[in-house]
């Protein structure tokens, strides 16, 4: 009897292993990315790995568009990864804590006493976005300020000149400023510039050949790519000078390197199990995601027209990394769809069909809209047969018609319905509806 029970148990274990390690449906993934490419929904690169072994990799779109010259993206194209950089910064900070060179309870006044509330702000609060340090990217002037090179003193002065958002540890408040300062703290404690510390502590240790800190503008000679927005075609986005975001968002990488990094992190090649547990539980430099009933860990990133998302599913040792330099379809949806295919979940490739609306009808919707329930003005404009929506102080985004008076903006997760007779539009997002009136 015991022998039979053991035999059944072994069969069950073997079956579970076989199910979790089943091969990825590459044809279906290719079909999905082909559709995204055909419909101009995205440009980017993805890598999926299981236990450190690449199961799938694919690049669609272009890394450089110059008139009629288009240079295709490849698996070796290097992208700005935005806030995924925070995972690298947090890892190095926690390595220094393990080495006794920092304490999570150390306060910011030991490094940057001019920052408001510095004596009360701890390293751990900064890692967990609970410091109250005002995010300099919310400054109305930041859009123009960020495009020129800045010194460390310039950036610290700008951060120090902003009033705190709240008292330390009172609540969660995402702060790029906090992670910029953490990057500078790494430099002070190690005596190395951030790039040297990154190389010594992470990239050389786990052999990431395509990951480094960007320090300026895009360098095409290094296989770096430009980011784009979509109008009547793909047009370049302005570039942030990477001397500004530093440890919060200036790293350049590839999906293959990102997948390798997060696998190494969970394989305890970079930190101890106790530290990794603290990172996942307290969300220090990483975030929890729930997809299809599974809990994944990782981080997303956005800078200029670039987006990135890096996720890890521990119970399947599955890593998925996607970097994009141009999108009209939400990056989170692309990753969720690819994950469903990779895990053999039910999935139907979208058709992405839209409808045509006459220009004289589109002109009825053009104008500036405002709402007493939302402190931002929205401008609707027309270029040819395309409507765009532009929040005040932000870049314009293309709208896609789903009916004569209904449009969607997939990158922003918006649905807009117009009522030309009332000179109104209803904005729908995340289950909420807001009515705007035309000026």
Radius of gyration, alpha carbons of the chain: 23
**Rounded mean pLDDT of 338-352?**
93
Average pLDDT over the chain reads 92
pLDDT of residue 18: 36
DSSP string, 78-137: BEE-GGGHHHHHHHHHHHHHHTTS--TT-BGGGT-TTSTTGGG-BHHHHHTT-S----GG
Q: What is the mean pLDDT of residues 401-416?
A: 87
Q: Is the pLDDT of residue 16 over 50?
A: no
Q: Is the pLDDT of residue 99 over 70?
A: yes
Q: What is the pLDDT of residues 206-222, one digit of tens each?
A: 999 999 999 999 999 99
Q: What is the mean pLDDT of residues 161-185?
A: 97
Residue 354 has pLDDT above 80, yes or no: no
Q: How confident is the model at residue 431 (pLDDT cuts 50, 70, 90)?
A: confident
What DSSP designation does 224 have? B
Return d(Cα 157, Cα 267) in angstroms, integer: 39
pLDDT over 90 (residue 66): no
Nearest to 292 by CA among 271, 313, 266: 313
> Residue 400 pLDDT more than 90?
no
Predicted pLDDT of residue 19 = 38
pLDDT at 163 exceeding the cut of 90: yes
pLDDT tens, position by position, 249-266:
999 999 999 999 999 999
d(CA 194, CA 378): 39
Closest CA to 123 of 115, 131, 135: 131
Q: How far apart are CA 426 and CA 419, in angstroms?
A: 8
The answer on pLDDT for 366 being more than 90 is yes
According to the model, what pLDDT value does residue 351 have? 87
Tens digit of pLDDT for each residue in 24-60?
999 999 999 999 999 999 999 999 999 999 999 999 9
- Residue-level pLDDT at 112: 98
Average pLDDT estimate for 97-102:
98
Residue 409, pLDDT score: 87
Confidence at residue 4, expressed as pLDDT on a 0 to 100 scale: 43
Q: Is the pLDDT of residue 17 over 70?
A: no
Residue pLDDT, tens place only, 289-298: 999 999 999 9
Higher pLDDT among residues 20 and 75, named by residue: 75
Domains of the chain: 79-342 (3.40.710.10), 359-438 (2.40.128.50)
Q: Check pLDDT > 50 for residue 223.
A: yes
Average pLDDT on 400-406 reads: 90
Give the list of residues 6+ apart from residue 117 with CB closer than 8 angstroms, or none: 108, 131, 132, 133, 164, 167, 168
* pLDDT cut 90: percent of the chain above it: 80
Q: What is the pLDDT of residues 286-328, one digit of tens each?
A: 999 999 999 999 999 999 999 999 999 999 999 999 999 999 8
- pLDDT: is 383 or 114 the higher one? 114
Q: What is the pLDDT of residue 22?
A: 67
């Amino acid at each position: 009897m015991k022998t039979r029970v053991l035999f059944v148990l072994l069969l069950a274990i073997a079956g579970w292993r076989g199910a979790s390690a089943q091969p990825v449906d590459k044809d279906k993934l290719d079909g999905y990315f082909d559709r995204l490419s055909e419909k101009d929904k995205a440009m980017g690169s993805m890598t999926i790995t299981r236990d450190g072994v690449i199961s799938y990799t694919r690049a669609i779109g272009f890394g450089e568009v110059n008139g009629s010259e288009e240079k295709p993206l490849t698996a070796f194209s290097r992208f700005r990864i935005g806030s995924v950089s925070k995972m690298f910064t947090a890892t190095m900070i926690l390595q220094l804590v393990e080495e006794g060179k920092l304490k999570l309870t150390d306060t910011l006044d030991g490094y940057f006493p001019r920052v408001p509330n510095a004596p009360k702000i701890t390293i751990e609060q900064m890692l967990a976005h609970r410091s109250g340090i005002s995010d300099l990217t919310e400054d109305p002037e930041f859009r123009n300020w960020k495009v020129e090179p800045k010194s460390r003193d310039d950036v610290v002065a700008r951060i120090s000149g902003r009033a705190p958002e709240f008292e330390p540890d009172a609540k969660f408040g995402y702060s790029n400023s906090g992670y910029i300062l953490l990057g500078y703290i790494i430099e002070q404690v190690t005596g190395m510039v951030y790039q040297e510390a990154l190389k010594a502590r992470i990239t050389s240790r786990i052999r990431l050949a395509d990951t480094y800190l960007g320090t300026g503008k895009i360098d095409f000679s290094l296989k770096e790519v430009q980011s784009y927005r979509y109008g009547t075609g793909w047009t370049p986005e302005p570039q942030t000078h990477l001397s500004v975001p530093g440890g919060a968002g200036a790293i350049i990488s590839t999906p293959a390197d990102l997948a390798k990094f997060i696998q190494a992190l969970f394989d305890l090649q970079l930190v101890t199990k106790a530290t990794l547990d603290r990172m996942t539980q307290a969300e220090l430099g990483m975030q929890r995601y729930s997809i299809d009933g599974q809990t994944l860990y990782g981080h997303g990133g956005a800078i200029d027209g670039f987006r990135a998302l890096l996720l890890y599913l521990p119970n399947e040792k599955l890593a998925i990394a996607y970097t994009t330099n141009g999108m009209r379809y939400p990056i989170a949806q692309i990753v969720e769809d690819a994950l469903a295919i990779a895990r053999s979940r039910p999935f139907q490739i979208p058709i992405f069909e839209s409808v045509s609306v006459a220009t004289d009808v589109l002109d009825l919707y053009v104008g500036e809209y405002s709402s007493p329930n939302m402190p931002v003005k929205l401008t609707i404009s027309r270029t040819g047969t395309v409507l765009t929506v532009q929040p005040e102080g932000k870049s314009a985004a293309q709208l896609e018609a789903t009916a004569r008076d209904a449009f969607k903006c997939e990158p922003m997760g918006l649905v807009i319905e117009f009522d030309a007779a009332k000179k109104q539009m209803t904005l729908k997002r995340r289950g909420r509806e807001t009515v705007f009136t035309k000026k």
